Structure 1
Amino acid sequence: MLRFEKKHVGEQVLMFLRKQILLGELKEGDHLKELELSKSLNVSRGPIREAISQLEKEGLVTTRSNGRTLVNKFDKKDIENLYDTRILLEKHAVTQITPEKLAKNLPKLNALVEQLESEHKKGVKDVESDLEFHATIVKMTENKTLIQLWLSLYGLIQTLIEVTSSFEKLRQEKIISEHKSILDSLVEGDVERTQQFIEQHIRGVQLMVSKEL
């Protein structure tokens, strides 16, 4: 029987169900039943409802007028659309970052790259620091709409990376190098070059994810 930490039950249930859908364990048309999920996961129905609500926002499930919640199809085209949207948002974010905002956040960005390197040496896939690097770039814009749109993609992107096993050593080294290139071009104030590095980096991750799912 699965056991979830009481402190973060809702988040863990959401992550579990999202992974089940992305890995095809829960297939298109499958009916998500609150009571059955509550019993099988050994949690109350509250976290189940919260998770289903978030999965609806992400387009992974649909609740019909009769109350039945069904799993939606998620395929390579959906992955492409997800990463296309992410690229558009991050490339636009770069155009709104002022030198003052960058100077204020530069220590954090450098620390995140160092954290990626440190965890890589330990053989750890640090998805959190990777995505926090990109989140910081977006948040520097102080554009609430842009930030909210990017954050709405976060859960799906995080889970896709976590369920992808091909973050092998060489790919991790390349990812760290790509983050350094993005940061260097930001510091140089070269918007176009930064956008190019961002797109190359995200396309590489998209290709890796698409190959496995």
Structure 2
Amino acid sequence: MLVKTADYQKENLCSIVVDYIREMILCGVYKEGDHILETEVAKNLGISRAPVREGIKELQNEGIVTVIPRKGTYITKFTLEDIKEVFDIRLLLENNILEILISENKLSEEDFLTLENIVSSMIQVVNGPEDIEKKAMIINMKDMEFHRFIWKKSGSSRRVEILEGIFFQLRMAMLYDTNETGNLLVTATDHYEIIKHLRSKDLERCKKALREHIVSYKDGRF
């Protein structure tokens, strides 16, 4: 089946809108409850309103924005229960991934060095000159880089697919967790515990380190 050029361009512009709004949320430009104006997004991206509407529909399906009839589009407010649900899904699947990595000896010394380098780069960000919001955003991205590396090394394509499917919600939940209750240096260095127990193949301690890495669990907020 041939795809019409106009349809392809529309789909491509829709993806640009989705990525733009996601990044504006993660950068803190759009905050929970903020009103998104189609005309403003279209103007900022230099496109018509049609692909903006399509992009908003996609974000609505993902639960990232809420469309209220006759009022407009708003950034969805994530409740503590929403965030807990995202983390519960993550822990369930990532614990399975840890089991695979350890039982099947999936990680090489080179892999451990890669993980340690990611953590080192996180610590450099913590000690860098950027303001706290910028640091939190970069740490959030590096944190996900660390865990995505682990996911993919497991070779569990279906688990990875599910985790990737909630990737943006995970980033939002992790950013909330860090901003509200976390310490950036602790968030970064927590990963050393995960690496240590992966190396020693101590599954239970590895799972405990992962759970305690999520500040809201460690602080009893959940």
What TM-score, normalized by structure 1, do the two folds share?
0.71
Alpha-carbon shift at residue 194 of structure 1 (Å):
0.6
* Aligned mates of 1:206, 1:37 — CA distance in 2: 39
Note closer, same or farther for the CA distance 1:89–1:50 as it changes in structure 2 (3 Å cut). Answer: farther
Tell me which of 11, 21, 25 is aligned to 2:19. 11
Partner in structure 2 of residue 101 of structure 1: 106
Supply the AA of the counterpart residue of 1:134. Answer: H
Partner in structure 2 of residue 113 of structure 1: 119
Partner in structure 2 of residue 197 of structure 1: 209
* Aligned mates of 2:97, 2:151 — CA distance in 1: 5
Q: Show structure 1 runs of 5+ residues with no match.
A: 1-7, 27-31
Q: Are 1:136 and 2:145 an aligned pair?
A: no
Q: Show structure 2 runs of 5+ residues with no match.
A: 1-15, 130-134
Supply the AA of the counterpart residue of 2:171. Answer: Q
SS of corresponding position for 1:102: coil
Partner in structure 1 of residue 3 of structure 2: none
Q: Retained in 1: the 8 A contact 2:197–2:205?
A: yes
Instruction: State the Cα RMSD in Å.
Output: 3.5
Q: Which has the higher contact order (CA 8 A, sep 6+)?
A: 1
Q: Retained in 2: the 8 A contact 1:94–1:191?
A: yes
Q: Retained in 2: the 8 A contact 1:138–1:147?
A: yes
Q: Are 1:79 and 2:83 an aligned pair?
A: yes
Alpha-carbon shift at residue 158 of structure 1 (Å):
2.0
* Aligned mates of 1:15, 1:206 — CA distance in 2: 26
Partner in structure 2 of residue 153 of structure 1: 166
Note closer, same or farther for the CA distance 1:112–1:49 as it changes in structure 2 (3 Å cut). Answer: farther
* Aligned mates of 1:96, 1:153 — CA distance in 2: 21
Note closer, same or farther for the CA distance 1:139–1:73 as it changes in structure 2 (3 Å cut). Answer: same
* Aligned mates of 2:218, 2:94 — CA distance in 1: 18
Describe the superposition over 1:169-210 as per-residue Cα deviations: whole angstroms up to 9, x where unpaired.
Answer: xx12222231000010001011111111111112x15688x8
Note closer, same or farther for the CA distance 1:74–1:106 as it changes in structure 2 (3 Å cut). Answer: same
Describe the superposition over 1:1-57 as per-residue Cα deviations: whole angstroms up to 9, x where unpaired.
Answer: xxxxxxx6652233326767752224xxxxx674x3544645424662564254234
* Aligned mates of 1:105, 1:50 — CA distance in 2: 40
What TM-score, normalized by structure 2, do the two folds share?
0.69
